[in-house]
A and B are shown apart, each in its own frame.
Chain A
C-alpha cells in the first residue's frame, strides 16, 4: 500500500485532470430539443444560438491534427504551429542572448565597482519598472522594422533581471575567496574568470532564468502587436477567425514551451551550482 510519493502525486494529478476535463466536456453538451428542428434552425446549424467554448475533445482532435503536421506553410495566415513557435523562440533567444551580452559585463562592472554601482543604479531603477511593451512605439519608429522591434522588446525586458542578479552575485562573492585569489597573485582577469565568475554563477543563472521566463511572457503580447508571424500573432489571428479551439490549443502550447525553456535553464543552473 505504501506506493512512492511520486506515484501517488501522479494519481492525484490524473484524477484532477479527468475531473476538470469531464466537467468541461459535460458543460458543453448541446441541449437536445424534443421538437423537431424548424427549417430555419436546420439552416443555421442547430437550435442553440449561444456560442460555446469548445469542449476538450475537439481541442484534443485539433491538437492531434496540428501536431501531426506542425511545419506546413500554406500562406501568411496559415502556417503550422511549429513554424509559429519557431519564430517566437527565435525572437526570444535572439533578444535574450543580446541582453546577456550586455547585461553580464555591465553587471560585473556594477558588482565589482562601488563607484559604478552608485553611478548606474538610478538609471537601472528607473528603467527596470518600465513595461517592455511601452518601448514598442519608440522601437518601431527608430528601428522601422517590426521583426527587429519585437527582438528589441525582448532584449529590454531580459536585460534587467540578468544585470541585477549578476551585479548582486558579483558584489557578494565571499571575501575569503577573493583573498585566496589575492594571496595567489591572480591577475584581475584570472580572478574574474577563476574565482568571481564560478562563485557568482548560480546567482547569475537565477537571473537568466527569470529573464527567459519574462521574455516568453512578453513575446506573446509583442507579437499580438506587431503581427505577421509567431505564436502571439497566431493566437490573435485565430481569435479573429473565431476559432477558439485553436486559441485554446495555442495557449496550451505557450505553456508547454515556456516550461521547456525554464527546465532548460534550470538544468544549466544545476551544472554551475556548488555546495559550500
Chain B
C-alpha cells in the first residue's frame, strides 16, 4: 500500500477527558491513500474529526497515533508543499487582494523577481475571474469573491497536495454552485491533488474521484471509500442526469443517515476490526450488477 502519493496510516486523535482520568478518542484507525492528481472528498457528521484529519495532513495539528506519509516522507509540521484553503477564507485583511496572493507566491519562490511574482499572481487571479478587484481589500469583496481569492492563493503556490476545509460552507447556494464549477475548471487544467472536506453530497459527487465516508464520532473511522465513476469533464447541470448519479447519491445519503450511526463507536468495532482499511465501494457498477441479475 505504499504506491499512493499520500499515505495515511493508522491515524488516531485522542484527547484527555476534562478530569484527566481517561482519554476521549475522536477517531482511530484512519487508513487511506490519495493518488497523484486525484480529487478526494471526505464526508462525515460534525464531530467525527474530519477537520482534525485535514489539519494533521496540513501539519497544523499532531496525531496521537499513526503517520501521514507524502511522497515517501513523513509529514511533520506545515509546509508549502501542502496548501490549505480554510472555510473562513483566512485572507489577511490589511492586504489587498493581489498582495494576499503575491505574499504567498513570494513565500513559495523567494528568488523570483518582482515582475515574475506579479505576473504569476495575476495569472491565478484571472483564473478565478477576479481581475479588476486586485487592489480591493478583502472587506470590500463578497464572501464568494473572498473564497475565490483564497482558492487562487492556494493554486498559485502550486502545492503538491491541496487541502480544502469546507471551502464553500459559508456561501449561499447560488454562489456555491458557481465557484464549484470554477474549481472544476481550474482542477481540470492543473490536475492538482486535492483533499477536501464537505457536508454537501452533491458537491462531493460533482468534484471528486473518490469520496471517503466517516462514521460518527467519538471513535469515528473512515468506513468506506466510494468510487465516483462518472466520466469527466463534468458540469453541474448535466451530472444529475447521469445514470449513475442517483445510485451514488442514494448510497451516500443512506450512509450518512443510517449507517454512519450504526457503524460508529466500539459496538460495531468487532465487525470491522479485522479490516482496518475502508471498504472500497463503487455504487454505480454494483447497481449495474444488481440490474443484470434482475434481468437474468
Q: Is the CB of B137 within 8 A of A183?
A: no
B84 at the interface (CB under 8 A from A): yes
Q: Is the CB of A183 within 8 A of B83?
A: yes
| Number of residues on chain B facing chain A (CB within 8 A) | 23
A259 at the interface (CB under 8 A from B): no
Contact with B along A152-194 (1 / 0, CB 8 A): 0000000000000000000000001101101111100000001
Q: Is the CB of B90 within 8 A of A184?
A: no
Tell me the bound Cα distance from A183 to B92 in angstroms. 14
Collect the chain B residues with CB atoms within 8 Å of residue A179's CB.
Answer: 60, 78, 84, 86, 90
| Number of residues on chain A facing chain B (CB within 8 A) | 18
Contact with A along B80-109 (1 / 0, CB 8 A): 101110101010111000000001100110
Q: A180-B92, A198-B94, A199-B94 are in contact. Are A274 and B58 (CB under 8 A)?
A: no
| Nearest chain A residue, comparing its CB with the CB of B108 | A184
Given contacts A184-B104, A185-B107, 8 further A-B contacts (CB under 8 A): A177-B92, A179-B84, A180-B90, A180-B92, A184-B103, A185-B80, A194-B103, A276-B93
| Nearest chain B residue, comparing its CB with the CB of A182 | B78
Q: A179-B90, A198-B94 are in contact. Are A275 and B83 (CB under 8 A)?
A: no
Q: Which residues of B contact A (CB under 8 A)?
A: 58-60, 77-80, 82-84, 86, 88, 90, 92-94, 103-104, 107-108, 137, 139, 157
Collect the chain B residues with CB atoms within 8 Å of residue A274's CB.
Answer: 93-94, 137, 139
The distance from the CB of B181 to the nearest CB of chain A, in whole angstroms, is 26
Collect the chain A residues with CB atoms within 8 Å of residue B84's CB.
Answer: 179, 183
Tell me the bound Cα distance from A177 to B92 in angstroms. 7
Q: Is the CB of A183 within 8 A of B103?
A: no
A-B contact pairs, 8 of them (CB 8 A): A179-B78, A182-B60, A183-B60, A184-B103, A185-B79, A195-B92, A274-B94, A275-B93
Tell me the bound Cα distance from A148 to B80 in angstroms. 51
Q: Is the CB of B139 within 8 A of A183?
A: no
The distance from the CB of A185 to the nearest CB of chain B, in whole angstroms, is 5
Collect the chain B residues with CB atoms within 8 Å of residue A195's CB.
Answer: 92
